[in-house]
């Protein structure tokens, strides 16, 4: 009789704890993925901003050698799939990395655009940034930066696996069913 009562008390507690662990793991995975994506976006924004500032003089004087050298230096980052500079008529001035076309329907404006795309079977964040003088409304040129999301997806997968493993370990070690 006592074993029956223990079982009736233990099973709902174990089920509730298991459900709480599942909710915690799913929440942690979601938060981790969102934070990693924000980190990747911030990296792309920072690289774009710095690159636009460093390219401004070369664009102003249309020094294509300097532009190409600048892009070559930027392309050493393993997360950069491709980078290119377009003039204000959207004609390519220089490019480094994998060849790609802008997504159809992408309207280039005077402010930065961030969009997701695929480049040669690789998931990428695409940053389109105007290169312009501080007080100017019109862009002299545009920087197009394609930042890989493969490392981001890999990190999210690793974090997910780690959290699931930890939850199973905790559940298995802390909550054994009582012997009846």
114-160 per-position pLDDT tens digit: 888 888 888 899 999 999 988 888 899 999 999 988 876 777 777 77
- Domain parsing of the chain, residue ranges: 11-174
CA distances from 91 to 3, 63, 94, 98, 174 (A): 79, 15, 9, 17, 63
Collapsed DSSP state (helix, strand, coil) of residue 68: helix
Tokens representing residue 158 in the block: 């690793």
CATH of domain 11-174: 3.30.450.20
Exposed / middle / buried, residue 140 (Cβ in 10 Å: 0-12, 13-18, 19+): middle
User: Cα–chain-centroid distance for residue 25?
Assistant: 21
- At 18-50, the pLDDT tens digits run 788 788 878 877 777 788 788 889 999 999 999
C-alpha 70/C-alpha 54 separation (Å) is 8
Residues 146-175, mean pLDDT to the nearest whole number: 75
pLDDT of res. 180: 46
């Amino acid at each position: 009789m006592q074993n029956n009562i223990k079982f009736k008390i233990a099973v709902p507690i174990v089920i509730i704890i298991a459900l709480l662990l599942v909710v915690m793991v799913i929440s942690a995975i979601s938060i981790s993925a969102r934070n990693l994506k924000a980190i990747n976006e911030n990296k792309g924004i920072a690289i774009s901003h710095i690159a636009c500032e460093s390219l401004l003089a070369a664009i102003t004087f249309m020094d294509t050698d300097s532009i190409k050298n600048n892009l070559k230096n930027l392309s050493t980052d393993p997360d950069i799939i491709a980078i290119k500079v377009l003039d204000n008529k959207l004609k390519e001035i220089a490019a480094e990395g994998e060849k790609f076309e802008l997504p159809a329907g992408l309207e280039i404006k005077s402010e930065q655009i961030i969009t997701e795309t695929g480049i040669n079977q690789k998931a990428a964040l695409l940053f389109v940034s105007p290169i312009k003088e501080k007080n100017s409304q019109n862009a002299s040129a545009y920087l197009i930066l394609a930042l890989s999301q493969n490392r981001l997806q890999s990190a999210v997968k690793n974090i997910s696996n780690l959290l699931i493993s930890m939850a199973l370990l905790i559940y298995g070690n802390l909550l054994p069913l009582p012997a009846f």
